[in-house]
Structure 1
Amino acid sequence: MRTNTLALAAASAAAVLLAVPAPASASRAAAQAYLCEEDGKRDSRGFSSVDGTELEWDDDSRFDDARKHVVKVWTAGSLKQVRIKPDGATSYADLEWKDTRQTANGRHLVYGRWDPNTGTDYVWFNRAYLDDGRKLGADVHRRRVAAHELGHALGFCHKPYNGLYPSLMWAEYSHFADKGINGPTEQTDIKAYHALWG
């Protein structure tokens, strides 16, 4: 039996390349994408509003522009694993968009909130800050708040704040607003999405 020397050399080189670990910076970037700010928390399919691979929503909010924006940014490009769509006549909403107006009882400077429940979950827009003429009373702010809260509904936790790995899922609104982040970031959020949803 004759051995092809060139084929054997190519196979050996391929085996060596496969054994070389990824650069440390790439490994850190991947790990950073999935870290949560709060100890012990992780991105989780189980702690999301997603039913299987669908998230059906119902809208009872005056901020329809913000809801349209977030459906667009969380289903753009390669983000197709979770279907985000309105609920139908024969289905129940997994998530409902609602409005509130609160500044007391822990709601001071809370612009929006994802509220998981045993049935339908809610995303609350706080009109005390988001109405026209208020502190964040413009479409750009309402869109950012909604995109962040839908991130929670998709199972994502707050990401640690640092300048190297920008994220829509930073806990402080000013952190992602100051960076002009209006949707999931390539460096962190999209990687986390694919790690969680495929």
Structure 2
Amino acid sequence: MFLFLTGLAASTAATVLLSLPHPGPALGRGPEACVPSGHDSRGRSSVDRGVIAWEDDTVFDDARSYAVGQWTGGGLKKVAFRPDTASEFADLEWNDTRSSGGDWKNVLARWTGRPGTDSITMNRHYLDDGGARGTAAHRRRVATHELGHALGFCHKSTKAGSIMWADNAEAARFGIDGITAGDRAAYHRLWGRA
């Protein structure tokens, strides 16, 4: 989940992240531990036999396409991404909501693992043009982050310099617009090399 933080934290994880010092990212470092706890996991991913077959019901096709390019470029070939077909069950659905209350307060997007088809839901309230994070750069960063969750990656410590930071504003502040060396290392550790 990518949080948009204004004032009070929107979740316990965000509270933990807000309380950590921000020394700046270490972009060349290896994979970092998950925060507040846990670990990257193939079992907590949308990958089915090396593929994420997706169906699309989002207005943010550019962001989805950018995210797929980030997680398949530069030798990241162990997991393939493709649209689902009439004879193939979708592993992941991209969809939208427009909400600023309840569970969606200050939340830009969310990956949800569930039986059957997992989902990435982009929040148009914040991401549409004119919204608080309504730029192509924010949408692309958010989609890349959420697709990282679909690959089994958790939120990373702020010292990691990772697209998997929970705080979109911090990623933007440090110029993290796509996956980093640490994200590549985490990918290779979890999925192997091509």
TM over 0.5: yes
How big is the shift at 1:172? Answer: 0.9
The answer (yes or no) to whether the contact 1:67–1:146 under 8 Å persists in 2 is yes
**Displaced runs of 4+ in structure 1, greater than 4 A?**
29-32
Matched residue pairs, number? 166
Higher deviation after alignment, 99-108 or 109-118: 99-108
Letter in 1 for 2:83: P
Q: Which residue in the other structure is 1:195 paired with?
A: 189
TM score, norm. by length of structure 2: 0.82
Residue 136 of structure 1, aligned match among 129, 133, 137:
133
Cα distance in 2 for partners of 1:183, 1:196 equals 18
Tell me, yes or no, if structure 1 residue 183 matches structure 2 residue 178.
yes
- Which string of whole-angstrom CA distances, capped at 9 and with x for unpartnered residues, describes residues 98-154 of structure 1? 000111112111001001110100000001101111111111111010000000000
Q: Percent identity?
A: 50
User: Using CA pairs below 8 Å that are at least 6 residues apart, which structure has the higher relative contact order?
Assistant: 2
Cα distance in 2 for partners of 1:31, 1:138 equals 29
The answer (yes or no) to whether the contact 1:112–1:145 under 8 Å persists in 2 is yes
User: Taking structure 1 as reference, are residues 76 and 32 closer, same or farther at Cα in structure 2, changes over 3 Å only?
Assistant: closer
RMSD: 1.6
**Can you give the 5+ residue segments of structure 2 that lack an aligned partner in the other structure?**
1-26
TM score, norm. by length of structure 1: 0.80
Find the residue that maps to 2:184 and give its secondary structure: helix
How big is the shift at 1:37? Answer: 0.9
Residue 35 of structure 2, aligned match among 9, 34, 37:
37
Cα distance in 2 for partners of 1:138, 1:64 equals 14
The answer (yes or no) to whether the contact 1:34–1:43 under 8 Å persists in 2 is no
The answer (yes or no) to whether the contact 2:30–2:186 under 8 Å persists in 1 is no
How big is the shift at 1:30? Answer: 9.6
- Correspondence list, 1:61-100, <5 A: 61-100=58-97
Higher deviation after alignment, 63-72 or 30-39: 30-39
Q: Which has the higher Rg, Structure 1 or Structure 2?
A: 1
Find the residue that maps to 1:135 and give its secondary structure: coil
Cα distance in 1 for partners of 2:174, 2:65 equals 22
The answer (yes or no) to whether the contact 1:56–1:87 under 8 Å persists in 2 is yes
- Correspondence list, 1:1-198, <5 A: 33-39=31-37, 41-162=38-159, 165-186=160-181, 188-198=182-192
User: Taking structure 1 as reference, are residues 30 and 65 closer, same or farther at Cα in structure 2, changes over 3 Å only?
Assistant: closer
Cα distance in 2 for partners of 1:192, 1:105 equals 32
